[in-house]
Amino acid sequence: MIEIKELHKKFGKNQVLKGVDLDINQGGIFAILGPNGSGKTTLIKSVLGMVIPQSGTIKLNGNTIKKDWKYRKEIDYLPQIANFPNNLSVKELIKMIKDLRANYTQKDLELIELFKLEPFLNKKLGNLSGGTKQKVNLVLTFMFDSPLIILDEPTTGLDPIALIRLKGLINSEKEKGKTILITSHIMSFVEEISDEIVFLLEGKIYFKGTISELKSKTDQPDFEHAIASILTKSYA
């Protein structure tokens, strides 16, 4: 579904992506991991067209995304930090996003019920807690039916019940054959939800495969120690 070849990106003298090659097949949950500065955010934003690489190609379903903004209609994106207009109510924001995308959907009603947002629909976004804003963020992401979903730190601010519901929602989208890319610093969440991980280190793909394969490669008994082993070597 996603083909990335020889992707290079630098900001000033800082080379962030150094010839990244990555293929992501249709269907499944892929966690993109790496320490701060490894290039994972730049990689995601390159796929979204928010960052323009110096060289390399990105294809979505066999089509090059360069100079073709329409491909973004095939992606639902949850940003790590949602900067909502404080003066709008939750209900007004949901309506505005539906109007902007010109995509008829009633799934927002199902998601509002799932995350128990009914009491907040008429409240201004500026008056909401961080956790409630994240639930609104999730509604805006999942209320459309795109084949590719990108979630940047989706668990931020969520209470345990909302987290359980998010996991169920992600798995239900996977069962529909969708491809889901996730970044997260919560290793227990990554281990529970992902089919494969992609680990970036110093602007390159260090590893792509299952968690079991990573543990075998690093000769570590569990996922957290496997990640720690990689990071220890990178800082040595």
What is the tens place of the pLDDT at every residue in 137-189? 999 999 998 999 999 999 999 999 999 999 999 999 999 999 999 999 899 99
Q: Name the strand (E) or helix (H) holding 133.
A: helix 130-142
End-to-end CA distance of the chain: 36
* Domains of the chain and any CATH numbers: 2-235 (3.40.50.300)
Side by side, the strands of the sheet bearing 55-60 are: 14-24, 2-11, 55-60, 63-64
- pLDDT for 49: 92
- Average pLDDT over the chain, rounded to whole? 92
Instruction: Find the mean pLDDT for residues 53-71.
Output: 90
DSSP assignment letter at 128 = S
pTM for the whole structure: 0.93
Q: Name the strand (E) or helix (H) holding 46.
A: helix 40-48
- pLDDT for 236: 46
- pLDDT for 162: 96
- pLDDT for 158: 95
Least confident of 90-104, 150-164, 208-222: 90-104
